[in-house]
Structure 1
Amino acid sequence: MTQTSVPTVTLNNGVEIPQVGLGVFQVPDDGTQANVEQALEVGYRHVDTAAGYDNEEGVGAALRASGLPREQLFVTTKLRNGDQGYEQALRAFEDSRRALGVDQVDLYLIHWPVPSRDLYVETWRAFEKLLAEGAVRAIGVSNFLPDHLERLVAETDVVPAVNQVEVHPTFQQAEVQARCRALGVTVEAYSPLGRGADLGAAAVVAAATELGVTPAQVVLRWAVQQGRVVIPKSMSVERQATNIDVFSFELSPAQTAQLNALESGVEGRTGADPATASFTQFRH
């Protein structure tokens, strides 16, 4: 598997993002470097971390150890909820940039809207400054619901390039996805496998058998075939390799419809509710 095997999606500002990346949520920092190095050897060129994951240093160490040219790598990180606010966000970005050991971050996201604090618009203005200064190549959000997106677009100057949200067959967030498409915001799916819960669904298993691939490949193919960017997490080199190998087959319209039919609404959610989530993401 080489980087040329993974297509890119062009964001609304012209920046290209590899459609499959490696997520490192809940990967401990002391294991992150080995995990990311392994993924880069398999062919990944897109790594997604966050200040709240406490493993940016491990990601940065892997990027340096790989010897790959910086321009071949796409690095995403996210702002901690507790660091929202204009000046605080600018300071937090510098902490992330130092931890990663990079001059420029490819994509910087507001991790959660935290509407109870009402700071995400102010925070976004700091992100716009970072973009204008060239410290980041693209700015976006994560876990933003349609009303949060609408407010950003109405009150600020830059439309988010990405909204990274939980999307998988049993939790598809159709309204969020539709609003993103209408605004020109790329949907990036985290927990694209439903943290493994969706892999045993009969429709997924049947498609995997018919196509001669794994259930995880079926679910990831379902996502990329609909234009989403995905960031599956795995510590296993074998699963990393199969997770990125989803561009040599296609789901039929019938198979796609069967996966679409797995939607179960909020019952399928595995993460927090963005309308109420208010944790700071700082260690206690």
Structure 2
Amino acid sequence: MALQESLAKFKQQQEKCQSTLTSIASSRPAQPHRTAHASTSSLASARAPAPAVKFSNDTERLQHINSIRKSPVGAQIKRVIDLLLETRQAFTPEQINETCYVDVNANKAVFDSLRNNLKVSYDGRRFSYKSKHDLKDKNQLLVLVRKFPEGIAVIDLKDAYPTVMEDLQALKAAGQVWLLSNFDSQEDIAYPNDPRVLIKVDDDLKHLFRGIELPRDMIDIEKDLQKNGMKPVTNTAKRRAMAQVHGIGSKSKPKKKQREISKRTKLTNAHLPELFKNLNVPDN
């Protein structure tokens, strides 16, 4: 309210100054001059209207500040949180007011909402951004992902620090983590790619895996892959057509001798014991 009154008074003063200048210019008497040229220029200047007085360039900034402070509390809080997120610095209420024009001290609702916001940390003097996971670099990111063998949502990692997404892609490229999409929420999930991590598989997933019967023909497998948006590495139809053109019959591959499993063999699918029930496992 005080800012609006100041603007109104400022405009009245500017209009009053303009009116005064105009009246002075119109009432100024013509003065004799030594030369005709000087008299002519003086008369022209007396008849010309006085230039309009422009408002100060600061008026637009003041109007912008006033619109921010009159905006809803939620909009002001978002403005402050965006500032804290982008800079990752701690600000006093006075510094916030100078930087993004949100007067935290003068608006109790904004102050209380910021102090109790889950994304904001307040130490009694300064406000700073608070991410869900306190991470500083790629090593800490990898340690955190490995603590969640069943996956951690990428959306919970995005605001940890500015380059977290680049580090996550680097860990994926190095083969240290997996990034898979959740079909329900269409969000990426980060999984640790560590063979030492024991992953618990739900019984429903086990039953689903056991109930899937793969097609016997490779062409049908390639069609199923294409239906699910995946590009098969092989092209069996093309290969068979080329074989017929050159008169080459398809040869069935000889069956490999099933390798026996001993107690020293490392079982990577130990959570599916039914895969090994028909195998000959020696006692020694």
TM-score range, shorter chain: under 0.3
Structure number with greater CO (CA < 8 Å, separation at least 6) is: 1
Instruction: Give 1 or 2: higher strand fraction.
Output: 1
* TM-score, normalised with respect to structure 1: 0.23
* TM-score, normalised with respect to structure 2: 0.23
